[in-house]
Amino acid sequence: MNQTYMCPSCRAKTRFNVIEQVVTPVMWNSNEGEYEAAEETAPFHLAYNGPDKRVQCGSCGLVEDEIRFIKMAENAGR
Ligand SMILES: [Zn+2]
């Protein structure tokens, strides 16, 4: 990992928790009365298009999309 992060809230640059997102599509099954795994390509089911990773600041606990931490570091470096 060679990405530089900076927390948008407290501007810490040292400690982070990187959260890999795992997507499980589910669909309500009214017969069973519970959610069950669904095909990601099922009709009318939007595929997840959010970020692969989220990041938590290890100093203040803020959780945001990884891109916000990367952009913050880039802007601070200028
Ligand atoms: Zn922070």
What are 65-78's pLDDT values in tens digits? 999 999 999 999 76
Q: In terms of residue numbers, what domain contains 33?
A: 16-77
Radius of gyration, CA atoms only, the chain = 17
The rounded Å distance from CA 41 to ligand 1 centre is 37
Residues around ligand 1, an ion, CB closer than 5 A: 7, 9-10, 12, 57, 59-60, 62
Backbone angles phi, psi at 69, to 5 degrees: -70, -35
Domain-located, residue 11: no
Q: Is residue 52 part of a domain?
A: yes
Q: Rounded to the nearest whole angstrom, what is the distance from the C-alpha of residue 48 to the centroid of ligand 1? A: 27
Considering its fold, how many domains does the chain have in total? Answer: 1
Residue 34 placed within a domain: yes
Classify residue 10: in a domain, yes or no: no
Whole-structure pTM value = 0.77
**Residue 2 counted as domain residue:** no
Does residue 1 carry a pLDDT above 70?
no
- Give per-residue pLDDT as tens, 23-38: 999 999 999 999 999 8
66 domain residue, yes or no:
yes
| Residue 43: how many other CB atoms lie within 10 Å | 5
Residue 5 contacts residue 69 (beta carbons within 8 Å): yes
